[in-house]
Structure 1
Amino acid sequence: MALVGKLESEIEVNTPPHRFYKLFKEQIADIANVSPKLIQKIKNHDGDWSKHGHGSVKVWNYTIDDSAEVFKERVEFDDKKLVIRMVGLEGDVFKHYKTFIATYQVVPKGPGRSAIIFTLEYEKLHDGPPYPNKYHEAMKGLAKDIEAHLKK
């Protein structure tokens, strides 16, 4: 069984690419309101709160499979490719994984449409931990919640 893995999916959303990207980069505090069943709180740990700027560190409190969890991440942005990369630093996922990186890439698909490619890169601590499918599905759910919010 492989200890290093990568899960990748793509969905299309009725959202202009820069609006989706901007929510993560400049309006990160709004995400708890956008997806309250998944995300309960995002707290600034280091860096600029008003802009989730490159290298800033945030702590996410979320619920997955009816369990409250915490994820501390350092974000990296690529403004040209519209990539949001969250490098895990601490949190509940590290009970099972040595490394954990979540990435959203926003790809223009036409007027008011985008494809969201979401990727999880991980390294298990040993053969026993499960694959991070529930986290991958949560990323997809968050993208759909963002789409619904931006359509308002």
Structure 2
Amino acid sequence: MTLFGKMEAEVEIKVSAETFHDIFSCRPHHIPNMSPAKIKNVDLHEGEWGKPGTVISWSYVHDGVAKTAKDVIEAIDDEKLSTTYKVIEGDITTEYKNFIVIVQATPKGEGSCLAHFTLEYEKLNENVPDPQTLLEFCIHFSKDIEDHHLTQLPTAQA
């Protein structure tokens, strides 16, 4: 059994690709307002929002358990609309030696996008499960971001 793995998932959401990318690259601290049941807090630990090298602390609820993670933004690609995070501390590091999350938005037209998540990881041992529930968690809070944005749209005047 290999200790290295890669998992991917995507979901179409009614948020523009540029907006979704901006949330993850420059404004992750707004995510708790968009998905309060799942993402409790996102704090700037070191650096500057929207810059590679920035260290961010996350408090979240995964599988019904409060957890934390400290990530460094490794890369922001405004052309490909992707942001790469590397987990450096927190609950994930109790099972994984290395854990990378890549968030990419692909335009779908009419203010929609494909939110694509890639998890690249190295397990500490062969008994550690693949992070399937964490990948599903990413998809679910992306739908929360969509719901938040749909409620923020101005309604048509009659």
Provide TM-score, normalisation by structure 2: 0.90
Who is 1:15 aligned against? 15
User: Is the partner of 1:24 in helix, strand or coil?
Assistant: helix
**CA deviation vs aligned residue, 1:39-83 (integer Å, no higher than 9, x gap):** 1111111011xx332220001011111111111001121111000
Structure ID, larger Rg: 2
Q: Which residue of 1 aligns with 2:59?
A: 61
The percentage of counterpart residues that share the same residue type is 37
CA distance in 2, matches of 1:66, 1:79: 34
- What is aligned with 2:141? 142
Distance in 1, matches of 2:46 and 2:56, equals 7
Give structure 2 stretches of 5+ with no counterpart: 153-158
Q: Are 1:27 and 2:27 matched, yes or no?
A: yes
Say whether 1:52 aligns with 2:75.
no
SS, match of residue 127 in structure 2: coil
Return the alpha-carbon distance in structure 2 between the equivalents of residues 71 and 112 of structure 1: 31
State the SS of the aligned residue for 2:51: coil
Q: Report the Cα distance in structure 2 between the residues aligned to 1:97 and 1:28, rounded to whole angstroms.
A: 23
How far apart are the structure 2 equivalents of 1:3 and 1:28? 30
1:88–1:101 contact (8 Å) kept in structure 2: yes
What is the root-mean-square deviation in Å for CA atoms of aligned residues?
1.1
What CA distance in whole angstroms lies between the structure 2 residues aligned with 1:83 and 1:25? Answer: 8
Q: 2 CA distance for matches of 1:62 and 1:52?
A: 21
- Residue 33 of structure 1 aligns with an amino acid whose one-letter code is N
Residues 15-52 of structure 1 show CA distances to partners (whole Å, capped at 9, x for unaligned) of 1111111122332221111111111111111011xx33
Q: Distance in 2 between matches of 1:23 and 1:105?
A: 11
1:77 equivalent in alignment to 2:82: no
5+ long unaligned stretches in structure 1: none
Q: Residue 83 of structure 2 aligns to which amino acid in structure 1?
A: I
Q: Which amino acid aligns with 2:89?
A: E
> Displacement, 1:111?
2.1
Q: Separation in 1 of the partners of 2:25 and 2:94?
A: 28
The letter of the residue matching 1:44 is L
Distance in 1, Cα, partners of 2:17 & 2:79: 12
Q: Aligned pairs, how many?
A: 150
